[in-house]
Amino acid sequence: MNLTSKSDIRDILNNYGLHPNKRLGQNFLVDKNIINIIVDAIEITPDDVILEVGPGLGALTDQIVKHAKYVKAVEKDHGFIPHLTDYFKDNDNFEIINSDILDIPVSQILNDVTKFVSNLPYSCGTRILVDFILANKAPKHIVVMVQLEVAERIIAKENTSNFGLLSLLAGVKYDSEIVKIVSPNCFWPRPDVRSAVVKLVKRETPLLTQNEIKTFRKLTKTAFSQRRKKVSNSLRKILENEVLEKAGINPGQRPEEVNLDQWVALTKSFLERNKENA
């Protein structure tokens, strides 16, 4: 059985009384090269416990279980569970969880996970990614397929239109890159947008602690909610210009003109000032 063959996919769907669910963003990868690129990007070792969200019919899963210590696959659509159970019945290192990933506490699902891989649903992919990035036990590697525009936001640098909250949250803990831009023709059914494989590798030392990240997120979210305003105006209810200047930020700059290191410095400066005033 070839899980990337359109005819085999149709046969599986017919046998189990299934069909692609557009609402859930079910577009099956039918390009083996893309699957191989994703597997290579994960850099699987025999010690890895890998979490996959949305395995679908298991084309990517089929390659991961061959190399990982253990694979946990979370699938929301209960219709796929019988097929996945049957297909992977001989794999002792595979567990299927029939649930919406958003209903599972992040600390619980990531407890022993070393790496995370997913063809993320377009509707809630960014939320899932941010939740995992900010988790106390964030995965060492994250390799996800997302809409191209989301991928560009993840890797964006200052002074670009794509630079924003997602770029900053990812950058605090991870180095990121676009591994491959993926044509809609690599999927069945064919989606209306281009996708991209993004790889995020965890920094040996995050730029901020978990507690500092909470403040970092508050400052950046406030500033980028009014991204056309100067940072001195958007943050005026939170901090003084002196704190901005201490972090090397010109009060006249707009949020997208302030780089990651400056936002990190601002967070530390802000927390130091609050500590002094306490």
Q: Which residue has the tokens 């988790």?
A: 135
Q: What share of the chain is helix, strand, coil (3-state, %, to 5)?
A: 45, 20, 40
What's the order of all strands across the beta sheet hosting 195-202?
94-98, 70-75, 49-53, 115-119, 141-147, 195-202, 174-182
Number of neighbouring beta carbons within 10 Å of residue 163: 24
> pLDDT in tens for each of the 278 residues of the chain?
899 999 999 999 999 999 887 776 789 999 999 999 999 999 999 999 999 999 999 999 999 999 999 999 999 999 999 999 999 999 999 999 999 999 999 999 999 999 999 999 888 899 999 999 999 999 999 999 999 999 999 999 999 999 999 999 999 999 999 999 999 999 999 998 999 999 999 999 999 999 999 999 999 999 999 989 999 999 999 999 999 999 999 999 999 999 999 999 999 999 998 887 76
Give the whole-angstrom CA distance, residue 110 versus residue 114: 8
* Predicted pLDDT at 173: 98
Domains, the chain, ranges and CATH? 6-202 (3.40.50.150), 210-277 (1.10.8.100)
For residue 102, what are its two tokens? 């958003």
Q: pTM for the whole thing?
A: 0.95
Amino acid sitting at position 127: R
